[in-house]
Amino acid sequence: MNRLDDWLLRLRELLAPLFLAGALAAGAAGTVLVGPEHSDATEIQVAAFNIQVFGQTKRGNAEVMDVLVQTARQFDILAVQEVRDASETTADFFLDRINAGANLTYAMVEGPRLGRTSSKEQYVIYYVPAVVTLLSSFTLDDPDDLFEREPLAAVFQAGGFDFILVVCHIKPDAAEAELQALAAAVPRLLAQAPGEQDLVLMGDFNADGSYLNEDELPDIFAAPFQIVISDTLVTTTRTQNTYDRIILADGGASAEYVAGSAAVFLFDQEFGLTDPDFVRTVSDHYPVYANFNIDLGDDDP
């Protein structure tokens, strides 16, 4: 990332408090959630969420936006996939809504619009600068065009835990090939942050159902990887599949990861949403998340 990128990221963090525009009105759940408790925190919670076709139409639905805002505020870091907006205004719109009435200010880092067709998507990572520090970010180089949407990586530090977060939305009909490419790309991802060994892969990997035999995933991500969103969890609102995953490597798997913390955030159950059609309007996916210790000291060599 060049100096201009660094300056723009820093400017976004400095300007984020100016976006506070009043309290968020009670939404579909009838409750306003204003963020996780961070005082004396020894852990952070990191999530990934495919917000299906997140663009101007969806953001115009006030009840849906209330659920999305309430969901985002549950996490210290939220890696959003499937932002589709040619005007590139939805990512900032969502940031403004998250920060309206929040206890803590969020910032964001966004990747470029990606895709081989006219239907392009962005990755956007929202995070709390008071809790985690963004050190750098980059989109993985893909000279052989192995990915429909190249992964976005962000290097974060929270207390004694520094790590590379990699978010990727795997193309459904090329799931096996893209997942193999993602596993093979890990050395290149680590090389972008010399000395860093903690790496968290997350996103809609389409790693189940007709796209991939889930029994093949442990072969693609063999040791030292650790798949912490297991096949027993349901990550979609329409099916019983486990499309979304969190996969850890090296230090992140053996030390900072809070064992057993990886889970699915069932926003319908959390917010008392009983209309299945409305739930599917919010998204066809649930967020997946995991907790990490930040007070153990840096375990990188």
CATH value at residue 233:
3.60.10.10
Residue at token pair 């207390």: 159
| 182 falls within a domain | yes
Point out the catalytic residue in the list 43, 82, 110, 121: 121
CA distance 85 to 218: 35
More confident residue, 21 or 11: 11
pLDDT at 251: 57
Is 70 exceeded by the pLDDT of residue 212? Answer: yes
CA distance 20 to 25: 14
121 is catalytic: yes
**Residue range 101-116, pLDDT digits in tens:** 888 999 999 999 999 9
| 224 falls within a domain | yes
What is the CB neighbour count within 10 angstroms for residue 245? 29
- CA distances in angstroms from 133 to 10, 40, 140, 154, listed in the order given: 11, 17, 21, 10
pLDDT band, very low/low/confident/very high, at 200 (cuts 50, 70, 90): very high
Is 80 exceeded by the pLDDT of residue 207? Answer: yes
| 18 falls within a domain | no
| 167 falls within a domain | yes
pLDDT at 36: 53
Is 70 exceeded by the pLDDT of residue 160? Answer: yes
| 191 falls within a domain | yes
Helix (H) or strand (E) holding 188, with range, is: helix 186-191
285 is catalytic: no
Point out the catalytic residue in the list 13, 43, 150, 169: 169
CA distance 109 to 123: 9
Name the DSSP class of 119. -
Is residue 293 a contact partner of residue 43, using CB atoms and an 8 Å limit?
yes
Q: Global pTM?
A: 0.87
Is 60 exceeded by the pLDDT of residue 32? Answer: no
| 5 falls within a domain | no
Number of domains in the chain: 1
pLDDT band, very low/low/confident/very high, at 41 (cuts 50, 70, 90): confident
Is residue 100 a contact partner of residue 21, using CB atoms and an 8 Å limit?
yes
pLDDT band, very low/low/confident/very high, at 20 (cuts 50, 70, 90): very low
Strands (E), 86-237: 107-110, 122-127, 133-139, 152-158, 161-167, 199-204, 225-227
Give me the phi and psi of 87, to 5 degrees please. Answer: -80, -15
| 3 falls within a domain | no
Across the chain, what does the average pLDDT equal?
88
pLDDT at 299: 66
**Residue range 282-296, pLDDT digits in tens:** 999 999 999 999 998
| 25 falls within a domain | no
pLDDT at 116: 97
